[in-house]
A and B are shown apart, each in its own frame.
Chain A
Amino acid sequence: MTDGSQADTKPKAEENVPSFSIRRLQEKFPDAVMRWHRQWGDDTVVLKREATLDVCRFLRHDPDLLYDLFIDLTVVDYLPREPRFEIVVHLYSVAHKHRLRLKVLLEESDLVMDTLTGVWRGSDWFEREAWDMYGVVFRGHPNLKRILLYERFEGHPLRKDYPIDRRQPLIGPKN
């Protein structure tokens, strides 16, 4: 237990070998997979934005992958890096019991991506939250409005340039 610090930070051998899901994606979509890594055993694939929807359909329906459970969608703001935003999606397959993390990089000036609600209905509220907190627009979402905050909230508070102590104007009832 005590020999932690030196040995553990070295990447393990298996982290350099792509897993089955990553290989399958690379074969099927050689252009869409920009990068991949398996840090700490989490399979991660960085996708081209344009190909995301096709890749997701494939992941959902391919019998060898069958990622049928949408776990999570969130955004990370890497200010001041460009591209600034990363959409992070976590998937799970009930049948095969494997996991995959998808990432899509977005520029601040073009914060748009296709909605995944057509593939997994469960991404509905997660996408609304991403819009609410980061201002990411999901093209084709059936009901893209704020979810945790109120409609008249100004700005997107989880962005790194939103100060933690910023005040919002008081609002009253509409009528």
Chain B
Amino acid sequence: MAETEKDLHTDDMVLNLGPSHPMTHGTVRIIATLDGETIKHAEVEIGYLHRAFEKSCEHGTWQQAFPYTDRLNYNSAIINNVCYAMGVEKLLGVEVPERCKYIRTIASEISRIADHLTCIGPSSMEVGAFTTFLYFVEARELMWDLIESLCGARLTNNYVRIGGVKADLPEDFAARAKTQFIKTRQLIEDVDKLLTKNRIFIDRMRGTGVMTAENALAWSWTGPCLRSTGVDLDLRKDEPYLVYNEVDFDVPVGAYGDNFDRYLVRMEEMRQSIRIVEQLLEKIPEGPINLDDPRVRWPAKRLVYSKMEELIDHFKIIFEGVKPPPGEAYARVESPNGELGFYLVSDGTGKPVKVRCRPPCFAAMQALGPMIEGAMIADIVPSFGMINMIGGECDR
């Protein structure tokens, strides 16, 4: 017996997951040092999707940064748009019309549903539940359909402008949303029945990736991940922006801070988001959707072609850009992953001095290594999935 033990290899093994691994969705690398199947140490390497977001923004006008913001968190692009626009509007010291606020809120919540569907669907597939993935892709298609009717694109939705939105809601939007939500609700309930009491799913999720509230705060977690640990922090409630103070919704919080709680929090948030949109569509006011301020408004095309002043206006606003007064501003929204912030610095010209995006999953990802240390190798997959790292946002 002693002889065989001497020959057994007891060295640590280094396992390299990624950067291109089906589990990693985007591109991230986890270098795990293993003792048997237990993770002794895990190093997380990000940056494979870095594409110089901030540098590019600094070399364009304020408006030209919008398409870059879509590609941060591409699952909920409109929320990024909204946050950036709110930042520029804060610098300008202007407020958008009431109807625009409603439209932005509606579009944000639909994006949030799509984002949560994209998080739970693939994550459940990775732990073996393929049907739920297909159900949620179907539900996401319904949400994308609504977003497409707003801005014309399924992905890379570019809808928000400084001082307003690109276009008003289509005429049949409320009716369409109503039918889509009936189907989406049904799909969420179906998945709920398939997963929430599923023995295999619970075994993989319950008690894995556990985080205490204290540690979650220390690691700068926000959003559903923080709420799963029991901290009731939701900027929509705590620092209401847009029209969130005019709707009635609940903020679900978890109790154990494990992957299963993160799943439950997201499931409930989707139901609440549907509630929010339904309420908003009931009471959305009529009115202008764009700010009528010469500093941000684009002149009507018809006038640009026929009037000299409008032509000059148009030329200046396109070539020189919107010019916020010198100063700095921080705008933040509750994105599906947590607090998304834009810290903007203007020197009074048409080009930003600084466009800083505070990515929520960047903060969450730094805790992944410590979180999975001591866990089994199979726990990496659900823990990573439930943090919902979005490469575009994390690496910028």
**Residues of A with Cβ closer than 8 Å to B?**
1-2, 4-5, 8-9, 39-40, 42, 44, 68-72, 74, 76-78, 88, 90, 92, 94, 97, 99, 101, 120-126, 129, 133, 146-150, 157-158, 164
Residue pair B90, A40 in contact (C-beta under 8 Å):
yes
What is the CB-to-nearest-CB distance from A68 to chain B, in angstroms, rounded to a whole number? 5
A4, A68, A71: the one contacting B295 at CB < 8 Å is: A4
Residue pair A42, B217 in contact (C-beta under 8 Å):
no
Taken together as a complex, chains A and B put the C-alpha atoms of A2 and B91 apart, in Å, by: 17
Residue pair B356, A74 in contact (C-beta under 8 Å):
yes
Write out the residue numbers on chain A whose beta carbons fall within 8 Å of the beta carbon of B50. Answer: 148-149
Residue pair A40, B363 in contact (C-beta under 8 Å):
no
A-B pairs with beta carbons under 8 Å apart, 5 shown: A8-B92, A71-B220, A129-B362, A133-B54, A157-B52
Sort A-B residue pairs by CB-CB distance and give the 8 closest, nearest first: A122-B220, A8-B93, A148-B47, A72-B358, A4-B293, A125-B366, A148-B50, A74-B356
What is the CB-to-nearest-CB distance from B30 to chain A, in angstroms, rounded to a whole number? 15
What is the CB-to-nearest-CB distance from A60 to chain B, in angstroms, rounded to a whole number? 10
Among A4, A97, A129, A150, max chain B CB count under 10 A is at A4
Contact flag A88-B343 (CB < 8 Å), given A39-B329, A69-B217, A125-B366: yes
Write out the residue numbers on chain A whose beta carbons fall within 8 Å of the beta carbon of B353. Answer: 76, 78
Does B339 lie at the interface of the complex (its beta carbon under 8 Å from any beta carbon of A)?
A: yes
Q: Can you name 11 extra interface pairs (CB under 8 A) apart from A76-B354, A122-B219?
A: A4-B92, A9-B325, A70-B220, A71-B341, A74-B354, A77-B354, A121-B218, A122-B218, A125-B366, A126-B363, A164-B55
Contact flag A42-B330 (CB < 8 Å), given A120-B218, A147-B46, A148-B47: yes
What is the CB-to-nearest-CB distance from B64 to chain A, in angstroms, rounded to a whole number? 14
Provide the B267-292 mask, 1 if CB < 8 A to any CB of A, else 0: 00000000000000000000010011
Write out the residue numbers on chain B whose beta carbons fall within 8 Å of the beta carbon of A90. Answer: 330, 341, 343, 358
Taken together as a complex, chains A and B put the C-alpha atoms of A129 and B219 apart, in Å, by: 16
Residue pair A1, B288 in contact (C-beta under 8 Å):
yes
Contact flag A5-B293 (CB < 8 Å), given A76-B345, A120-B218, A164-B55: yes
Provide the B349-387 mask, 1 if CB < 8 A to any CB of A, else 0: 000011010100011011000000000000000000000
Residue pair B325, A148 in contact (C-beta under 8 Å):
no
Does B40 lie at the interface of the complex (its beta carbon under 8 Å from any beta carbon of A)?
A: no
Does B158 lie at the interface of the complex (its beta carbon under 8 Å from any beta carbon of A)?
A: no
Total inter-chain residue pairs, C-beta < 8 Å: 111
Does B94 lie at the interface of the complex (its beta carbon under 8 Å from any beta carbon of A)?
A: yes
B31-39, B103-111, B231-239: which lies at the A interface?
A: B231-239
Does B294 lie at the interface of the complex (its beta carbon under 8 Å from any beta carbon of A)?
A: yes
Taken together as a complex, chains A and B put the C-alpha atoms of A40 and B327 apart, in Å, by: 9
What is the CB-to-nearest-CB distance from A121 to chain B, in angstroms, rounded to a whole number? 5
What is the CB-to-nearest-CB distance from A7 to chain B, in angstroms, rounded to a whole number? 9
Taken together as a complex, chains A and B put the C-alpha atoms of A157 and B56 apart, in Å, by: 11
Residue pair B363, A122 in contact (C-beta under 8 Å):
yes
Taken together as a complex, chains A and B put the C-alpha atoms of A97 and B222 apart, in Å, by: 14
- Chain B's closest residue to A122 (CB) is B220
Write out the residue numbers on chain B whose beta carbons fall within 8 Å of the beta carbon of A157. Answer: 52, 55
What is the CB-to-nearest-CB distance from B99 to chain A, in angstroms, rounded to a whole number? 11
What is the CB-to-nearest-CB distance from B283 to chain A, in angstroms, rounded to a whole number? 19
What is the CB-to-nearest-CB distance from B317 to chain A, in angstroms, rounded to a whole number? 14
Contact flag A124-B366 (CB < 8 Å), given A1-B288, A97-B239: yes
